[in-house]
Amino acid sequence: MHDFVYHRPPTLDEACRLGAEEGAAFLAGGQTLLRDLKHRRRAPVSLVKISGVLSREIDFRDGEIMIGAGVTHAEVAISEVVRERLPALAGLAGHIGDPAVRHRATLGGAVAANEAAGDYPPACLALGATVHTTERDLAAAEFFSGPGRTVLEPGEIITAVTFPVPVKAAYVKFLNPAARYPMAGVFAALAADGRPRLAVTAARADGAFRWREAEAALAAAFVADVLRDVRLPPEGLAEDLFADAAYRGHLVGVLARRAVALSNAPGPGVAVFSHGSPLQSG
């Protein structure tokens, strides 16, 4: 790890000013940035610690849950507001990484990192979330711009994310048991206006995306059976040591049906599978 200047600003405005300087990087929970520093993927001139100036509040108002950028995954997972109003999101947060990660990593950091196999990006897309920053409010579909990339400008910080509460929702993922990242994951939601949304993570190298063909089928009826003949083409899907494109496409189809079925059933609205799990095509 190389040398850098470390800043711990007392205010959000000061953090923005320091973060706008050339070569600066923001540090919240550090679960992505510190890994990248260790592997020499990034070499910032300065680190601006922002966890102390970010909101850690969770509020429900007018059918939406606003979560401060400084809230950790563990705090989202145990929040009574989230568990009652949007249990799929609470379950998602409670199954990210391991306990050590969940107690350090923040919602804002995870959304800003936009990892190709991240859990929050598909939730943001499927729920029609709004990302609030120090400069503007952005729809999730406009915020993410590719793996590890967003439209954030230098010195711009995420302050909160607002999630409209859906009629129903569920998140299902299939884990790589060693890395704890999903090999594929699907977040399915039926919005309050009756529109279905289905977002996929870890299936493409360019990050999370909405599966429009599946959404079109679900518009007729939000039930798993309507997806049986919907296929995700292998073109453009990620291939690695764990899965080729054809397998990943099949896996996404299975997970999509599971997510829709789970959203229609009572319970926490999340399911995690891995090698050895009884994952079936039903």
- H or E element that contains 218: helix 212-218
211 burial (CB, 10 Å; 0-12 / 13-18 / 19+) is buried
Between β-strands 64-68 and 58-61, what pairing exists: parallel, antiparallel or unpaired? antiparallel
Q: pLDDT per residue over 250-259, tens digit each?
A: 999 999 999 9
Q: Where along the chain do its domains lie?
A: 1-52, 168-273
Given CATH 3.30.390.50, say whether it is the number of domain 168-273.
Answer: yes
Alpha-helical regions (H) of 55-201:
73-78, 80-85, 87-94, 99-102, 107-113, 120-127, 140-143
What SS3 state is found at 200? Answer: strand
Higher pLDDT, 113 or 41: 113
Residue 280 predicted with pLDDT over 50: no
Q: Hey, what amino acid is at 213?
A: E
Alpha-helical regions (H) of 136-199:
140-143
CATH of 1-52, one of 3.30.70.3400, 3.30.43.10, 3.40.640.10, 3.40.1160.10: 3.30.43.10
Identify the pLDDT of residue 15.
Answer: 98
pLDDT band at 267 (very low <50, low <70, confident <90, very high): confident
Report whether 24 contacts 45 (CB < 8 A).
yes
Total residue count of the chain as it appears in this document: 282
Helix axes 87-94, 120-127, angle to 10 degrees: 170
Residue 183 predicted with pLDDT over 90: yes
Q: Hey, what amino acid is at 159?
A: T
